[in-house]
Amino acid sequence: MYPYLIIKRNYMDSRIYLFAINSEKNPLKSYIVRIELGKYVKASCSCKGFAIRGNCKHIKICMRKIRCNKKIQ
Ligand SMILES: [Zn+2]
C-alpha cells in the first residue's frame, strides 16, 4: 500500500492533505484519505473500515508519510 499525495493546501492555520492509497487486497481498488493538521487533527478515509470503525490503516500510513517526508510537511 503506497500513499500518493494528490494535493496539499494550506487553509488558515491548517494543512490539508489528500492522498490516494491502493487497497491491500485488491490492487484495482483505491481509497482517498483526507488529513487536516491544525489545532486538531482530523482524518477520514473512503474505505469500509473507516466507515465502520472510524479509523483505519490507510490513515496511519498517510500520517507516517507526512511525518517522515520533509518535502510535503
Ligand atoms: Zn482506510
Centre of ligand 1 to C-alpha 56, Å, is 5
Centre of ligand 1 to C-alpha 51, Å, is 8
Centre of ligand 1 to C-alpha 31, Å, is 7
pLDDT by 10s per residue, the chain, length 73? 899 999 999 999 999 999 999 999 998 999 999 999 999 999 999 999 999 999 999 999 999 999 999 999 8
Please name which of 36, 33, 27, 65 lies closest in space to residue 47, comparing C-alpha atoms.
33
Q: For the chain, give percent helix, strand, coil, nearest 5.
A: 30, 40, 30
Please report, for the chain, the start and end positions of each structural domain, with discontinuous segments joined by +.
Answer: 3-72
